[in-house]
Amino acid sequence: MSEDKGLALQIKKRFETLKGDRKNWDNHWREVADYVIPRKDDVYKTRRSVTGEKKSNKSFLFDSTAIHANELLASALHSMLTNPSLNWFELTTGVPEIDRLDDVRLWLQRTAETMHQTLNNSNFQTEIHEVYLDLGSFGTGLIQIEEDPERLLRFRARPVYDGYIQENSKGVVDTIFREEWMSLRNIVDKFGKEKLNEKLLRELDKNPDSKKHIIHGVFPRKNLNNKKIGPKNMPYASVYSLSEESIVLEESGFNEFPYLVPRWTKISGEVYGRSPAIKSLPDIKMVNAMMETTLRSGQKITDPPLLVPDDGFMLPLNLRPGGISYYRAGTPDQVIPLQTGGRIDFGFQLLERIRTSIREAFFIDQLQLNVGPQMTATEVSQRTEEKLRLLAPILARQHDELLRPLIDRVFGIMLRAEALPPIPEVLSEQEINVRYSSQVAKAQRASDAQNINRFVQLATPFFQVDPTVMDNLNPDEAVRHIGHMFSIPQELFRDQDEVESLREQRQEQEAQQAQQEAQLAQAEAIGKAGPTLLDAQTQGVI
């Protein structure tokens, strides 16, 4: 057996195993897609070829509370975590002594700004929103980061049901298999004609549009050879194979794992995430069934069934406005509506309770701030920060599984493309870490700033009693620490050398001014003493 065929068979076997492990999740996702995100309802790919089809025309879908709540949650995540108008992350070495160096801090900030601009110039913002929609509905997102020769970065948000994932021993997703159907002519365009065997070449001549099942696997490589350089010796392998023919179409690799696979929350022992939609699915299905019943009740009230005498009227009755119906003379001439006594108001009250429960499951009550006319701007700011801090534990997983791998991958791509500022020599062997400065992260750090402010207020009376108490504090470092806490640009701060130079100049000016004042005071004293000395000389005293 050839090495390529053995690899193709291995890829196929792993794919079938991962596909079988995910079978139960497909059923969950199908229900969630039907009720929460109908436009992504093709979990089993049965209607992939039907374009332009209505995706929300479901016979059982009568209420859009969950659909709207998921969209609000996705928009909130986008704004809080990856807002395009804010610098939502910073770079740091993690070593305070190095981070305090002015040239290092300036390089870290300029590098982070360059990465922000590159992300905003790519299609990142449009694709990441799809991931947030999948997180709230399916509980697992999937986005691919590719190197683009024109825009440097290219992002592709893929439906979660397109990928079969696997974790390593640390619980980190490092393996993904995808399947797709590709025509023979497209296979030749992408991978080359030399990859096909004689059977496929004959089929290519007869039916070039024949679809073939392709498996793409990305997984860590073992036994890397540090002396070799090339795509087949990169940390992550990338293999395309024709599953039916056991042919390897392409084998290459990546320096970083090219997929981001965030999970909303995850139960121990499971690989795929669980979402607010999965948690509240019973309420979502219930509110749709109740809405259907309530609508029927409303129709009966607005257009009730009629009680018609069994003799005397000529059927059918004409119930249109201005319609005429005939009845025999001498028979009752009234058609009475049937009143069931149903209370539609009670149905709407119960519906609203369940809708509120669904909104709370999607954290809409935490995301929307109820602002009254009596609230001050300070109170609004404090309440906003409090709500963001409450959401921080929920979003911590997104920092670890979405944002950190994203920044690592983008940094690696830009570093290899020489698209970053020149690295200072002191950082040549230093690891670079990430510090988040999104709205949620800033809300968490606001409490630290409040503690500093509270400390200064409490210590002020001691400073007034004994000014030497200030010797315990380093005001320069305090100002720089607060500025760094709120992501103030380094350009707004002077270098340490410049600060010392300004202080030396100020001291020299103060010394010169003091000397001039002393000379002036001495001259005035001499001027005042001059007449007295003259009188004394005149009188012969001196």
**Strands (DSSP E) along 330-484, which ranges?**
336-337, 433-436
- pLDDT tens digit string along 458-492? 878 877 878 787 778 777 777 777 776 666 666 67
Answer yes or no: are the C-beta atoms of 138 and 279 closer than 8 Å. no
**Range of lowest pLDDT (171-180, 194-203, 218-227, 262-271):** 218-227
Residues 313 and 326: beta-carbon distance below 8 Å: yes
**pTM for this entry:** 0.78
pLDDT in tens, 359-370: 999 988 877 655
pLDDT in tens, 386-430: 666 667 777 888 989 999 999 999 999 999 999 999 998 888 888
Q: Please say if the pLDDT value at position 191 is more than 80.
A: yes
> Do the Cβ atoms of 132 and 142 come closer than 8 Å?
no
Q: Which of 314, 351, 356 is nearest to 335 (CA)?
A: 314
Q: Tell how far CA 504 is from the center of its chain.
A: 48
- What is the chain's mean pLDDT, rounded? 83
| pLDDT band, very low/low/confident/very high, at 49 (cuts 50, 70, 90) | very low
Candidates 290, 427, 413; CA nearest to 349 is 290
Domain ranges of the chain: 286-367
Q: What are phi and psi of 244, to 5 degrees?
A: -70, -35
- C-beta atoms surrounding 401 within 10 Å: 22
pLDDT digits (tens, 9 = 90+) for 117-154: 999 999 999 999 999 999 999 999 999 999 988 889 99
Contact present, 290 and 347 (Cβ < 8 Å): yes
